[in-house]
Amino acid sequence: MDLFTYAEHTELENCKSLLCVQAHPRELELAAGGTIAKLVKKGCKVFFLTVTDGSKGTPDASLSPLKLMEIRRQEAVAAGKLLGVTEQLFFDYTDGDCPPTVELCRGILAVIRALRPQMVLSMDPYRPYEFHPDRLAVAMSAAQAVFLSAAPHYHKDVGEAHSVESIVFHTTNSANVFVNIEETLQQKLDAIFLHTSQTHGEEDLRFYIDYLSRMHARKCGCEHSEAFFQLPSQLMSLHFQA
């Protein structure tokens, strides 16, 4: 028996409410769109929190950041509806200017305590070779917010303490959970390609998604899968000795 099996936790596929936190629009669809669609079909309430406005994510110098921000908001709303997301929240930090601050942690913590999700999904903050400062900042701040959420004296002005059962990391090299997405792969792809401002080299992107989903599927004996590292809060709290 290892620590993961020792800790009491619900399997990701049986989650009833999930808060998904991303730095920019479309990241969740790319990393977990199939799983999110599958959870929604099983009755899970899924919430998206997008931290930055995505205003600089283009190779087109003629497209203004303000216009791109408007386009990406529309794309995000449409893709979320396609996946069946219950509600989408936006912080609108400027793209590329999102440091891992107490303010950001407090903001995510306030959302957790307001929505009181069973689990929180975000990118693995320890992903090797991740260089985008926004992704690193948001991933770490989300993990910190989950860690602090159950402690009643931390940021008690932003809501009543709430214990998240597990934090789930996508885009990880330490996967311990694999979700079969054969039935929702097309829905994932449809959601991704609603982000038309980000679709540069569609054929290459389709190949990349297919390659990753088949590679992860080797772990669970199916054709297409998404991979995650699920960390029960029981294991996080073992370190809460300060």
Domains defined for the chain, CATH in brackets: 17-236 (3.40.50.10320)
The whole-angstrom separation of Cα 49 and Cα 34 is 18
Enumerate the β-bridge partners of residue 166: 119, 232
**DSSP H helical ranges for the chain:** 3-6, 27-41, 65-83, 102-115, 133-149, 185-192, 202-217, 233-237
Encoding tokens for residue 215? 């590679």
- Single pTM value for the model: 0.93
pLDDT of amino acid 201: 73
pLDDT of amino acid 2: 59
Q: What is the pLDDT along the chain (242 residues), one digit of tens a residue?
A: 555 665 667 899 999 999 999 999 999 999 999 999 999 999 999 999 999 999 999 888 999 999 999 999 999 999 999 999 999 999 999 999 887 789 999 999 999 999 999 999 999 999 999 999 999 999 999 999 999 999 999 998 999 999 999 999 999 999 999 999 999 999 999 999 999 998 777 888 899 999 999 999 998 889 999 999 999 987 776 554 44
pLDDT of amino acid 100: 78
The whole-angstrom separation of Cα 120 and Cα 126 is 16
pLDDT of amino acid 242: 47
Closest-CA residue to 10 (of 44, 37, 59, 40): 44
